[in-house]
Amino acid sequence: MIKASDIIPFFVIIPLAGAFLLSLFGRRARWVPDFAAMVAAILLCYLSLLSARLYNTYGLLKYSVGAWMPPVGIGMVLDGLTAFLLVTVNLVTLCVTVFSINYMEKYTSKWKFYTLFLLMVAGMNGVIITGDLFNMFVFLEIASVASYALVAFGTEKHELEAAFKYAIMGTVGSLFILLAIAFLYTYTSTLNMADMANILAEKGSSQIVLMASVLFIMGLGLKAALVPFHAWLPDAHPSAPAPISAMLSGVLIKSLGVYTLCRIFFNVIGLTESISSILMLLGVISMVIGVFLAIGQWDFKRLLAYHSISQIGYVMLGIGLGTPLGILGGLFHLFNHSIFKSLLFLNSGAVEYSTGTRDLKEMGGLSAKMPVTSGTSLIASMSIAGVPPFNGFWSKLLIIFALVEAGRYGYAFWAVIASILTLSSFMKVMKYAFFGELNRKWDKVKEVPFLMKLSMVMLAFICIAGGLLIYGGIGDMFLKPAAEAMLTGTKYGWLILNWLR
């Protein structure tokens, strides 16, 4: 008999198997890599939506790898937060895969690309779904290493330099995470997150836990690109091929950074007042500094990369607040950001595909030649700038309301200022890239191929429809369970272990 919880390992198995098979058979025929990646992406997307439904019918789902019972064996847990992030990651993966089919034609050895791509997806899904702290670290490293290689995929000079910086800083971050896990292990003698949460709740806090918290904030903050640990991002994200930029900014920093921070600080260690204020402070600093840096950029993708820092700041600000409304807003913004930011990166990729440039000064008037690209990027810009009725507006609204409700007027004010500056910088993109007079150079430019258009239109549609996520059924299915999972706090441990017995 098939149990509902049996779908859990497939989130790792499918991409991992895909990557393995591609590396063996990818060179046989031209269509194999595209086909295999497409099948994997569609399956993953379907499974993730299914998992959200299963969670709503069966509640918490749990799976023991190799039938070894936790806390000795590795456990995988599907709760509200997991289901929410799985949907986010795999939805974006699907759109990006569709985009890559045409876009990656200009590179050689597509099979290598898809192998790395699927490895990265396997890592991200693994991080999200695992219930074991060390296992989380392993998946985190899988995703990180795959992304280092993908950033360098073009093997141009600046791409290698960016990948080198990214690898160095990413490794430093990983080491600190490992150290933090080691500290917690010495203190609790377990690696299972639920078990650890229980033991921590019993034994109470100590200097070791504090030290581990600092190391986690630093290491995971680096993965999430919070200021001042952000410096690798503006080099790494623009250097990658556009679909990978979309993955990195859209979901990688969230699943490796934000999700892990949430899981550890909300469900394992427990959110204290001081950690909450540190997370919020980091959020505000990232939000403001990121946008101030973004507005002066002339490289399309670099501008977008700085905006990722700024938007992650919003997410952290909402989540760090720790109130139900704040968490809801933060998570919703996380979802929205992954949609509109991947769309924007795909737009920049489409422009680069057609014109061969990323310099905003060289573009101009492209809306006449590339109506789909300019239309979708207008929608994405409006979303990121928080213009109603697009999805970004609703999540920013929730965050600002939550901040005001908690009496944090100053933070709310900065959130508004950052929103205004975001709008300004995307107005700049619109003006220089798409509107105005057509640059004579681009008289013969054509719109991108069908699959790239399709992928952009899908994401743009979600941008428009995403605002509905907080209403009615859809919101209850995705967002609320995720926020509830975080609000459970360290009771998470009891929930899961009780369920076991």
Q: Which residues 6+ apart lie within 8 Å of 210 measured at CB?
A: none
Query: Shortest gap between Cβ of 67 and another protein (angstroms)?
Result: 40
- Taking CB under 8 A as the criterion, the residue among 99, 393, 478, 492 binding another protein is 393
Q: Does 236 bind another protein (CB under 8 A)?
A: no
Handedness of CA 297, 302, 306, 308 (dihedral sign): positive
- What is the amino acid identity at position 145? V
Contacts of 88 (CB under 8 A, 6+ apart): 251, 254, 334, 335, 338
Report the 10 Å Cβ neighbour count for 472: 9
| Least distance in angstroms from the C-beta of 244 to another protein | 21
Give residues 135-194 in contact with another protein (rule: CB under 8 A).
165, 168-169, 172-173
Identified binder of another protein from the candidate list 4, 179, 397, 457, rule CB under 8 A: 397
The answer to whether residue 206 forms part of the interface with another protein (CB under 8 A) is no
Nearer to another protein, 49 or 430 (CB): 430
Rounded least distance, CB 385 to another protein, Å: 7
Binders of another protein among 266-295, rule CB under 8 A? 274-275, 278, 289, 292-293, 295
Nearer to another protein, 110 or 428 (CB): 428
Is residue 480 close enough to count as binding another protein by CB under 8 A?
A: no
Residue with tokens 């200097």: 207
Minimum CB separation from another protein for residue 13, in Å? 35
CA distance 327 to 320: 8
**Binding residue for another protein (CB under 8 A) from 73, 228, 356, 410?**
228
**What sign does the CA torsion over 429, 435, 437, 441 have?**
positive
Q: How far apart are alpha carbons 487 and 117 in whole angstroms?
A: 33
When asked if residue 72 is in the footprint of another protein (CB under 8 A), the reply is no
Could you give the CA distance from residue 443 to residue 441 in angstroms, rounded to a whole number? 6
Residues pairing with 473 in the sheet: none
Encode 92-129 in three state secondary structure: HHHHHHHHHHHHHHHCCCHHHHHHHHHHHHHHHHHHHH
**What does the alpha-carbon distance between residue 278 and residue 280 come to, in Å, rounded to a whole number?**
5
Q: Is there binding between residue 431 and another protein (CB under 8 A)?
A: yes
Residue 65 sits in the site that holds another protein (CB under 8 A):
no
Smallest distance, another protein to C-beta of residue 348, A: 19
- The yes or no reply on residue 471 touching another protein (CB under 8 A) is yes
143: tokens are: 């995703």
| Residue from 333, 337, 369, 396 in contact with another protein (CB under 8 A) | 396
Residues in contact with 121: Cβ distance below 8 Å, sequence separation at least 6, in sequence order: 15, 40, 44, 89, 90, 93
Q: Under the criterion CB under 8 A, does residue 404 sit at the interface with another protein? A: yes
Instruction: With contacts defined by CB under 8 A, name the span among 82-90, 181-189, 416-424, 439-447 that binds another protein.
Output: 416-424
Q: Binding another protein by CB under 8 A: which of 73, 356, 389, 410?
A: 389
- Other CB atoms closer than 10 Å to residue 38's CB: what's the count? 18
Residue choice 25, 413, 461, 499 for contact with another protein (CB under 8 A): 413
In the complex, the residues that contact another protein under the rule CB under 8 A are: 165, 168-169, 172-173, 207, 210, 213-215, 217-218, 221-222, 228-229, 231-232, 234-235, 274-275, 278, 289, 292-293, 295-296, 382, 385-389, 393, 396-397, 400-401, 403-405, 409, 412-413, 416, 419-421, 423-424, 427-428, 430-431, 435-437, 470-471
